[in-house]
Structure 1
Amino acid sequence: MASRTLRAWRALRLGLHLLLGLLTIALVFPFCGRTSQQRLRQRWSSGLLRTLGIRLEHEGEAVAPGCMLVANHISWVDIFVINALAPAAFVSKAEVRQWPAIGWLAARNDTIFLRRGSRGHARIINMETAALLETGCNVAIFPEGTTTDGSQVLHFHGALLQPAIACKHPVQTLALRYQTADGRYTRAPAYDGDLSLGQCVRNIISTPVIVARVCVAAPLPTGDGTDRRELARLARSLIVAALELPADAEQPRAAPASGTQPGT
């Protein structure tokens, strides 16, 4: 566990870094084009990881522009890990919009908020996602529909991949895992179960060093005839293999992802 002094220092730096982000969004973003905004987002996300004591390591392929990025989901930190690697828009549950500071930042960083259980809203989200992909932006989704502790990968809800299929843009998988400096698994960043956001932050800043490893696979083409359920199964299998988890035949399921139904 990190010393009390280090934890206090990280907490102070985190508050200052969040304030910097709020000021940048409010005072700088309105005068920047999308490319400049993405550079600022990447720089701020990298700084956030350093502030939290998280070291980013990238394995595999480069992230290709205009892809739907599909990742397993462990923590709220996942968003900033991906943005530090390659800035992307995110499809997120609507509840994130209500989070202090982080929700406001997310709303002004191309986050697409999806209301749970609303098919009509899901169709609107699909259109917005496809429009972003068509401009060459990356759009990231977490098709498990919830977070885990990182020791497993839940069933992928295929409906969330539909916008990429509809506009024939590739899907690229990102396998996320968090480890200690000596390569051991850690659940410190996990934001699952009944854990509060504050408790999760304390767990992170209390860990001396966390390594966020992202293994990126080659893009998967989509087009006419692509079955979203098969694509979801393939994407999940690539992530499971990259994480060196057992290739289980029966995929565990979470509650339905926002705007989707079981079995989609």
Structure 2
Amino acid sequence: MRLGLHILQGALTIALLYRFCTERQQDRLRQRWSRRLLTILGIELSHDGLPQPGALLVANHVSWLDIYVINAVAPSAFVSKAEVRGWPLIGWLAARNSTIFLRRGSRGHARIVNQEIDQVLAMGRNVAVFPEGTTTDGSQVLHFHAALLQPAVSAGRPVQALAISYLDGEGHPTAAPAYDGDLSLGGCLANILAHRRLAARLCAAAPMETTARHRRDLAETARADIIRMAGLSAPPATEPATAAEAPGAAAAAQP
């Protein structure tokens, strides 16, 4: 009941208040809402380091919760597949929450998206991407799609790696929040609620300057930083992602 009321409150905030708020005020509302969501779900948040304003944030992807973990620390615009925009309600919510929609396979549209990302970064705000292109169970970090880092390279903006980890009540790694494979959103939520207490940990590496660096080099360095900070093992860097882009729609349900 608390979760349902919180989601309703977020939707009403977007519909009634956002139009009267500056982008900074919207970020603060999004941050407060995300922190409250984690609290309702019994998830304790901790972080080691903070994202640098105006950086392209590159994170591993475990769950739909990842978006709220990042927003609870540093409210960001997220890059999502363009199909999400056409989803009933979710597409509207995503569009109202600074989501940048990417039409995959279109070079012309990619240039437009790159310009949108640069404009957000130039304002001192963060843009976050999940370069694995899919979620995992949290025990590994898949190959990074370096093309998602190109906007930062083209504009000379810093890239910063974020490692997201989930722990159980005893401090051990847990796959309870993982949203991968054939698991439904309802099944994932049930797994989370089955634990009275969980912890989410976000670690931020030092920002990387992008001048005179290739996007593949930046992607490999960011991936290695995430593996190190999260204490994970990794498959070969050339291993392709095994599924379509993960549910970027989760970026929608936030005020």
Question: Normalization by structure 1: what TM-score?
Answer: 0.87
Matched letter for residue 144 of structure 1:
E
1:186 and 2:171 equivalent?
A: no
Q: 1:251 to 1:133 in 2, by over 3 A?
A: same
For 1:57, the aligned partner's letter is S
Q: SS state of the match for residue 200, structure 2?
A: strand
Cα deviation, 1:166-192, whole Å, max 9, x if unaligned, reads: 111111111001110211111111111
Q: How does 1:150-189 map to 2 (within 5 A)?
A: 150-189=138-177
Cα offset for 1:120?
2.8
Amino acid in structure 2 at the alignment position of 1:55: E
Deviations 1:97-120 (A, max 9, x none): 466655443321101122333333
Q: Which amino acid aligns with 2:241?
A: A
The unaligned stretches of length 5 or more in structure 2 are 246-255
Instruction: Number of aligned residue pairs: give it.
Output: 245
Question: What is the Cα deviation at residue 158 of structure 1?
Answer: 0.8
Q: Percent identity?
A: 60
Say whether 1:93 aligns with 2:84. no
Which one-letter code corresponds to 2:162 in the other structure? L
Asked whether the 8 Å contact 2:142–2:234 carries over to 1, the reply is no
Structure 1: gaps (5+ residues): 1-11, 259-264
CA distance in 2, matches of 1:157, 1:201: 28
Which of the numbers 36, 43, 51 marks the counterpart of 1:47? 36
State which of 233, 238, 243 in structure 1 corresponds to 2:230: 243
Q: 1:198 to 1:94 in 2, by over 3 A?
A: farther
CA distance in 2, matches of 1:227, 1:142: 18
Counterpart in the other structure of 1:254: 241
1:110-125 aligned at under 5 Å gives the runs: 110-125=98-113
* CA deviation after TM superposition for structure 1 residue 252, in Å: 2.7
Whether the 8 Å contact between 1:134 and 1:167 is mirrored in structure 2 is no
* Deviation digits for residues 122-178 of structure 1 (CA, Å, limit 9, x no counterpart): 222111111111111100000001111100000111110011111111111110011
- CA root-mean-square deviation: 1.8
Per the alignment, residue 3 of structure 1 pairs with none
Corresponding residue to 2:121 among 133, 137, 142: 133
CA distance in 2, matches of 1:221, 1:173: 12
Distance 1:121 1:57 in 2: 37
Aligned counterpart, 1:205: 193
Question: Which residue number corresponds to residue 30 of structure 1?
Answer: 19
Shift of the 82–95 alpha-carbon distance from structure 1 to 2, 3 Å rule, reads same
CA distance in 2, matches of 1:57, 1:146: 24
Higher relative CO (Cα under 8 Å, sequence separation at least 6) belongs to: 2
Distance 1:102 1:76, change over 3 A: farther
